[in-house]
Amino acid sequence: MARSWWSGGAEAQLDSFFGVSGYRQIRLNRQDLRMGTAFHGLWPTVRLGIITIIFGWSPGADCASGVTDVRFWYGPDKTRLVLELTSAVTYRVFSLEDPERIVIDIDEGQLDQGIGLTKKAGGAVARIRSGRPEPRILRIVLDLQKRSTFHAFLLDPSGSYPHRLVIDLLQRENREEADSSQLDIREEDYLVVIDPGHGGEDPGAVGGSGAYEKDVALGIARRLKRIINWDGRLRAILTRTDDYYVSLRRRVAFSMQRKADVFLSVHADAAQRKTAEGASVYILSTGGASSEMGKWLAQRENAADLAGGVDIGQQDPSLQRTLLDMGLDWKIRESHDLGLALLEALEQVGGLHSQTVGRAGFAVLKAVDIPAVLIETGFMTNPTQEKALQQELTQERIAGAIYRGLSAYCDRDERCPSRTRNESVYVVAPGDSLPLIAARLDVSVADLKKQNPTRSGPLQIGQKLKVPQ
C-alpha cells in the first residue's frame, strides 16, 4: 500500500494532504514514506520533523485578494519573490523536501489572468507553479535549485506600491562568495566603499521616459570602482554589484565590517520641478536640513527601505538607536572637506545644482564613523539629464570627476597613501576606448591623439598613453 501510495503521484497527494489537514507543519522525506503498511495505518500518530512555517494575517484580509504581479530579484545572498496584491491577505509559507520546494498558501487568493508563472523562475528557483488544494486557497509552489531557508512578511502600501507579500530565499554561502570576489582587501589599504543607491525592488527616482535611478547609480559606481582600483593608490568595493536590493542597514554594516576609510553613496536626483538640473553633494546634518530640497531628498532616500521591502520588525533596537546617532564632529568636518573637493571636480563636467555642500539627515550616512557623502549626480526628473545620465560617456565623465575630487581630498588626508602613479601616463585597461579614456581624464579625444601621434590602430591592454596636461 505504501509503495503504491508513493508511486501513484506522491507529490500531488502530499500537497493535497497539506491543503486539507489544517496545514500541519511537518517535513517529509522518502525514507518516512517508505516505512511500509504499518506507517500508512498509523499516519495520524506518527511524529515527524517539525520545520519552519510562517503564518501571516492583516486586518481586512477577509475578502478575496488578487495577485496582480509576480516579480523575482536575484542578489548574491538571496532570491526575493514579491507578490503584488490588491489587498491584505491571510497566508502560510512552509518548506518541503525531496524535492526541495517552498509552498505559499493564500486564503481567498486569485491569480490574475496573464501572469505567466513559468517565465518568472530564476536564481534559487527552478520552477514556479500554482494550483488549488482547496477551492478557496491559492497555492504557489517554488521548486528550488537547492535547499534554502526563507523569511516571509507582508508590506503595506507605500507610494506607488500596493500590498506586497515578500518571500526571501536565503543562501548565506553565496553572500560570502560575492563579497570576497570583489577585491582582496588588505589591512593597509585606504578603502573606499561605493554605495550605488536603491536597487532591485526599489528603483529610486523614475524619469519621464522610464529610466531608473538604480541603473544610473550602479553604472556610475561600477565605473568609479574601476578607475579607483586602476589608479592603485586607493581600493574600492561596492555595496551592491548588480540589480538587487540592499537595505540601508546592510549598506552601513557592509562599510563598518570592512573598516572603510571613506563612504560614497551615489544617486541620481529627483525634484518636483522638471527644469532642476546639476549635481549636488550632501553630508550628514547634526541639526535640520540646510535646504528644503535637502529635507525632501533625505525623506525620500530614507524611505527606500519601505519601497525595497524591509521587515521593520526585524531590525535590532540597538541598530535603530545607532541610525539616529548624529555622529562625530570630526566626521562632519572631514565629510564637508570631501564634499567641497567633489563639488569642485563635478562642476567641471556638467554643472552644479548647488555650489555648497548640503546637509540633511540621510540614514545611510548616520551610522558610519568615517567621512561620508551622498552624491546626487543629476536629475532623473529633467528629461535632458535623464537621457544624458543613461549614456556611457556621461557616466564615465561623472565617475572620473568623482575620482578626481576624491583624489584631491586624499592629497590632504594624512591617512591616505602618497601618489604612486605617474600622472602624465595612462595605462590602457580592458574595455578602454579613446572616448572613454578622454571622458575619464576630462580631456578631449583630439588632445589625446595630438599627445600620442605615433599611436595608431586599436588600443592594446597595457599600452601607455601620454596624458595632456
- 245 vs 306, which has greater pLDDT? 245
Q: What is the reported pLDDT for 57?
A: 56
Select from 249, 376, 266 the least CA-distant residue to 316.
249
Give the mean pLDDT of 406-429. 83
Q: How far is 313 from 294, CA to CA, in rounded Å?
A: 28
* Structure confidence by residue, pLDDT tens digits, 16-60: 333 333 333 333 333 333 333 333 333 333 333 345 566 665 555
Pairing verdict, β 464-466 and 191-196: unpaired
Q: In this structure, which amino acid lies at residue 170? A: L
Give the pLDDT band (50/70/90) at residue 136. Answer: very high
DSSP assignment letter at 446: H
DSSP assignment letter at 42: T
pLDDT over 80 at 343, yes or no: yes
Give the pLDDT band (50/70/90) at residue 409. Answer: very high
396 in helix, strand or coil?
A: helix
pLDDT over 60 at 303, yes or no: no
**Distance in Å from the first CA to the final CA of the chain:** 86
pLDDT over 50 at 71, yes or no: yes
pLDDT over 70 at 308, yes or no: no
For residues 18 and 103, is the Cβ–Cβ distance under 8 A? yes
Give the pLDDT band (50/70/90) at residue 391. Answer: very high
Give the mean pLDDT of 320-340. 67
Q: How far is 422 from 450, CA to CA, in rounded Å?
A: 19
- 146 vs 280, which has greater pLDDT? 280
290 in helix, strand or coil?
A: coil
Q: What is the reported pLDDT for 367?
A: 58
Q: How far is 211 from 169, CA to CA, in rounded Å?
A: 28
For residues 230 and 180, is the Cβ–Cβ distance under 8 A? no
Q: How far is 321 from 323, CA to CA, in rounded Å?
A: 5
pLDDT over 50 at 321, yes or no: no
Q: What is the reported pLDDT for 295?
A: 52
Q: What is the mean pLDDT of the chain?
A: 76
Q: What is the reported pLDDT for 444?
A: 87
Domains and CATH numbers, the chain: 1-50 (no CATH), 52-182 (2.60.40.3500), 186-412 (3.40.630.40), 425-466 (3.10.350.10)
Give the whole-number percent of the chain exceeding pLDDT 70.
Answer: 70
pLDDT over 90 at 248, yes or no: no
Q: What is the reported pLDDT for 290?
A: 45
